[in-house]
Chains A and B, each alone.
Chain A
Amino acid sequence: MEFLSPSTLEEALEAKSALPEAVPIMGGTDVMVELNFDRRRPPALIDLTRIPELAEFGPEDGRIRLGAGVSYTKVIEHLSGRAPALAKASRSVASPQIRNRGTVGGNLGGASPAGESHPPLLATDATVELASVRGRRRVPAREFYLSLRTTARREDELITAVLLPEPSGPQQFAKIGTRNAMVIAVTSFSLALDSERRTVGTGLGSAGPTPLRAEAAEEFLSEEFDWEGGTSPSESVVRRFGELVAAAARPIDDQRGSAEYRRHALSVMARRALSWSVTDYRKGVTRCA
């Protein structure tokens, strides 16, 4: 197995173009596990840790540009205000050691339906930036996940960044695990209220072959929610929202939980996330007034 260590993005893109089966590696928290367990034998690894641009983050045209190689720890430390759902999700990733190494870009590359980053990226309508020797392009996260572990990334492309919209409303993330830390999601849920566009975003993890949205739930809530005053939705609205989130799931029974439990837990998390959001939203409305 070859180990390529480019020092510029151009070199990395050339390498990926010349050897499309080469696997990019950043923190190694997914890739090394697959290699060690003999689940994958790529012809080459492309080490991206020496490319400065991938490790950078900052504002860009009213959004946050998050380099694909920024660790979860940095997301938690620096972006809990500007990307609250993603920061909450990052906090729930594995252990401190893994959060120091693991990256959102790696999460997108592996595209496991259990990946913590995906629900917040879906809920907040983030954008994924891809690059190849042919140039750069941007794909909305909502169009990125195609089927089980398959994404819109073409084989010669590298994931270079994620663009996170400036939040204009409360964002939530919650994840079920059968222990209180260091656990793969049994299922997870993210919610974002956008007070400017008056839209609702959702993201569901470990609820189907890909990360999912609950579009019917989003439409329902965006119509029912009191965007002006932020009054608490009625109990029946809250319950209906939970049901619609659960109905969007396509879960399976596996060693981590049953499909029925996953649906149940999604409805509970959706209801709670909504009530937390309403509380936060009212605080925001009060501040503005």
Chain B
Amino acid sequence: MAATIRTVTDLASTTEDGVGASPRRPDGTLKVTGEFAYSSDLWMEDMLWGATLRSPHPHAEILGIDITEAVKVPGVHAVLTHEDVPGEKRYGLEHRDQPVLAFGKVRYEGEPVAVVAADHPETARRAMERIRVDYGVLEPVVDSRRAALDPDCPRVHEEGTLPENPEHNPRGNRLRYQPIRTGAFSEVAGSQERERRVLERLRAEADVVVSSEYEVGMQDQAFLGPESGMAVPAEDGGVDLYVATQWLHVDQRQIAPALGLPQEKVRLTLAGVGGAFGAREDLSMQIHACLLALRTGRPVKFVYDREESFYGHVHRHPARMRYEHGARSDGTLLYATAEIIVDGGAYASATPAVVGVASSLGIGPYEVPHVLLDAYGVYTNNPPCGAMRGFGAVQACFAYESQMDRLAEELGVHPVDLRIKNAMSQGSRIITGQEIDMPLPMAEMLRICRDLPMPPAREDLADPSDPRILPGGVAGTTRGEGVVRGVGYGLGLKNLCFSEGFDDYSTARVRLEVSGGEPVVLVHTAAAEVGQGLVTVKGQIARTELGVEKVVIAPSDTQVGSAGSSSASRQSYMTGGAVKVACASVRAEVFSLARERGLVPDDLPDTDLSLVGGKLVSATAGALVSLVDLLGEASDGGTVVERTREYHHRPTEMLDPRLGQGASHTQFGMCVHRAVVDVDVELGLVKVVALDAVQDVGRILHPQQLLGQIQGGSAQGLGLALMEEIQVRDGRIRNPSFTDYLIPTILDTPPMRIEVLEHPDPHSPYGLRGAGEPPTLSSTPAIVAAVRAATGRALTHAPVRPEDIVGIEL
């Protein structure tokens, strides 16, 4: 795989495997050899198996639940319903609207109604078959546009059913409505009639106007390790939960009230996580396992199977979008309007925050003087949707990039030139008025991307009829007939770290001591390693900051302060930042210890000192003392230096509810993609030939892991472009399996040439920029643009289906 990485020169350190190097992951060998213990591998001799009875209906009243026969099944230890939830009966990430176990109504297909603990999964299954639930089936609310705009649409949550959040009820099914008005639109905001007149004036002023509707389907995170974990009852009446999750402390904050326990009696430890991508931000089996463990006095393990997993976590919000752009004949953008409706499904999850991102980034990184944008997040009886890599920015990006291509076509200019013409850069303000106060070399990135070498033509390959290089692959549908090549570009702007006024922080505990005759650093955080490689990066930062090669990473648990979520591309920034400041504090303590002992000449300031290669070193006077001599063996009464520090990023603001203005984001990241595809235009099948990317990451911490992030994000975007969609009809999922929910195989995933730029962000640790999400935004529109170029079709739905390419209406 071709890849170019610019090396980090100013961080070069004499300590091996520090920041900028590519040390091996501590868990890498175990994962590759299949020995790594994932949460589904948890095992205790006396454990019980939990199972979940789910609603077969997307919308129904619960008229009665009878567990009598289920309890009688030999081997069954507990059958619980909502009546057995001792504390708060609802939970939720942002709004506490989701029942622990359904009561009154079920609002989506697959909603948990009862849970069983039994001595064997088969026993639990038999018991579930004997639970009788009487449902009064109701018409589901499934049309997100109607839910957003029709005041007569039936309500998914009736008035008064959310006592802790009554204010949403007057808005009906709208979870959040966020308007944004800039330029001439801001002066007439609130009056539809005057807004319409402004729009008409701008339309008249524009030389070219393009408008279209776009749809993004419901994508699944498709992690491979299903929801699983084990709850173990503790002697103090509390519970210890081992679970695969993305944010231990936010789980704890939701679990404890449901159990009626104080937070400190619900202790969480991160179990092996088999992928996350946002799907583990919400609770799945956590409260259920704890309830059953506390009821039975036995450890209780849950493992969802693949089909259940499709009902057990939130998905990416499907979006319906209407866009209009007006430009002058030279390509300068004049105005844009957008209506974005994201379907949150039955419960809120992260929908309000997704609306915050989709709206604020809704026009992308383009200078547009006049913008009118309305974004809605709604309740329906469709599957609940929440966090997924890209988080609202993915959906908007597909629409605004498609619009840029249409404009370029109308104007007869190269799509890259149109983008460069309207490109934002450092100092630009996005449509919320927030200044981009960090490098944003968008035009440079576009030029680099356009100039990357093209893949060879198929005819120039050794065997041009090898089915593996053709659309349709090994199924042999073409030997070249109907195959047309297309090229497309896409880019996306993503906010990194949490936004909109959230006090986002992470905590790290760092301990330096001498053990076994050498200095050792222990790093302890609650941050979730979900595969992204934070576990490696934490060690690299400790090595660079403390000049000690041996670093031990403690298991992540709630015995240390919150690390925040492993999402929003934020952990290198936030937990990396926390480890860095904790290390700095440890280092300062080491310096003062050395001064106390007279080992540092008085005229040397701290800025002259550093820890390198296990020694305290002066830039002017050379090595002063080894850490072994300074601290002494810990087990012999030597000094142990330990510091716990929190790291907060700079504060952000809520968007104002009228004009959508405010500095809501912490950091911005960007990736630019060029896709080359071969399309069988008669059969509607696609082979992506190349998917090349240019991304600015500020500073590279771990070159190899960074490439993995960009490749993975690009592949996930490829999936959304060409195949990944949870098909929902009448509130029901039609394809809850990896047989029918297709994700790219290696034969679908092309070589990727990746150019990484390093323009440091002055506000972040090491100047780094979150890297995981931006490629997921840009690869989808780039691929769809390439398919459009090959086919000449409008292709307004992602993923593009074979029917769309051959022109069959669905």
Contacts and interface: CB of A to CB of B under 8 A. Distances in A.
A176 to B, nearest CB: 6
A18 interface: no
B477 A175 contact: yes
Contacts of B479: 272, 276
Contacts of B722: 178-179
A77 to B, nearest CB: 15
A233 to B, nearest CB: 16
A123 interface: no
A268 B682 contact: yes
B31 interface: no
B125 A38 contact: yes
B745 A255 contact: no
A188 B474 CA distance: 13
A260 B808 contact: yes
A184 B808 contact: no
Contacts of A264: 806, 808
Contact of A92 (B475, B727, B742, B801): B475
A175 B740 contact: no
Interface string A172-204: 011111111111111010000000000000000
A255 B747 contact: no
A173 B476 CA distance: 7
Nearest to A181: B747
Given A261-B806, A264-B808, A176 B307 contact: no
A176 B803 contact: no
A177 B740 contact: no
A183 B734 contact: no
Contact of A261 (B478, B734, B802): B802
Contact of B481 (A91, A178, A272): A272
A20 interface: no
A268 B683 CA distance: 7
A265 interface: yes
B477 A272 contact: yes
B687 interface: yes
A261 B801 CA distance: 10
Contact of B477 (A37, A176, A254, A255): A176
Contacts of A213: none
A184 B476 CA distance: 14
A179 B723 CA distance: 7
A7 interface: no
Contacts of A183: 475, 742
Given A180-B748, A182-B745, A174 B477 contact: yes
Contacts, number: 100
A269 interface: yes
B53 to A, nearest CB: 14
A257 interface: yes
* Candidate in A175, A179, A184, A276 with the most chain B CB atoms within 10 angstroms: A179
A188 B475 CA distance: 9
A180 B474 contact: yes
B638 interface: no
A129 B478 CA distance: 34
B488 interface: no
B474 A178 contact: no
Interface in A1-44: 36-38
A88 interface: yes
Interface centre among B305, B475, B684, B748 (most CB of A within 10 A): B475
A219 to B, nearest CB: 25
Interface in A68-88: 88
A182 B683 CA distance: 18
A258 interface: yes
A175 B475 contact: yes
Given A92-B476, A176-B472, A180-B748, A255 B734 contact: yes
Contacts of B806: 261, 264
A154 interface: no
A180 B808 contact: no
A256 interface: yes
Interface in B452-481: 468, 471-479, 481
Contacts of A268: 482, 682-683
B403 to A, nearest CB: 26
A228 to B, nearest CB: 26
Interface string B712-725: 00000000001100
A36 to B, nearest CB: 8
B723 A174 contact: no
A186 B481 CA distance: 19
Contacts of B475: 92, 174-177, 180, 183, 185, 188
B742 A176 contact: no
Of all A-B residue pairs in the complex, the 7 with the closest CB atoms, nearest first, are A180-B473, A175-B475, A255-B734, A181-B747, A92-B475, A180-B747, A255-B735
27 contacts: A36-B305, A37-B305, A92-B474, A92-B476, A174-B476, A174-B477, A176-B477, A176-B683, A176-B685, A177-B473, A178-B723, A178-B742, A179-B745, A179-B748, A180-B471, A180-B687, A180-B745, A180-B748, A181-B746, A181-B747, A181-B748, A182-B745, A256-B740, A258-B803, A260-B808, A261-B806, A272-B479
Given A176-B477, A181-B747, A272-B481, 7 more contacts: A36-B305, A174-B475, A176-B475, A179-B745, A254-B734, A261-B802, A272-B477
